[in-house]
Structure 1
Amino acid sequence: MKANKIIEMSQEKSRQKVKLAMDEIQRMRNEGERITVSGLCKRTGLSNSFFYRNPKIKEEVHKAVDIQNQSYKMNIDEVELLDEYKEKLLAMRIEIIKLKAENQKLKSELDFLRIQQEGVSDVK
């Protein structure tokens, strides 16, 4: 009877550790924190070996890390795309400035030609 009680207590303690680890993984995921075994060890007080030996926890950690890595990759791709768009936008703005300057120059030339034409028509 005493051995059964010890086994039962050990199993309950193990279930509590699993729950603690799962809750912490979920919390870190929800808060966008980088999930690492060392980070989980610090936050839960559980040993490094616990996260590698327990198949359920090990699988959950790997899943969470994979999801984060995919998310980071997508964020990097988005940042690169934004940088590309910013460069294109800057080039377009420079082109607009050049075109406005050319437009102003052409307007000035047109005004000059109109004045010349009025002078020629006044002479006739």
Structure 2
Amino acid sequence: MNGLCLGLAGVVWASLPIEHFTLAWQHSIEKIRWEEDYQVGASGLVLMEARVRGSGAGMEIPDDATLRDGTWHYHRQLPPLNPLHAGRTPEAGDYELCFQGHCQPLANWLGPPSRDVAAVDFWPCRLSMPANERSALP
């Protein structure tokens, strides 16, 4: 089974059996929510769409973005990311990981952001299937 691994330098801290997710955060200065939707693929994480609720320092809205319900929606053409590297510090606040209709802070899986480990990587990975699920396969 494929899924999403979270960790750093290839060391898995948590793994989730999901195929797509939204990574969300609040800009540390402008206090504006930013969201990016990813598909977990074999060669990396594919950015499907991004959204931001305003502009400000370091948050320029792309020319091709469309405004819908107060949020700018846009697509960036990037190769699959493997890994997706994100800074994570107490001062900036935590990311939220959203899937299956719910959002939760990364702290639920990784503990609170720390100055000692100020980053996290996301990458596609192969997950082990528990024995009770293997026995249920045809």
The TM-score normalised by the length of structure 2 is 0.17
The TM-score normalised by the length of structure 1 is 0.18
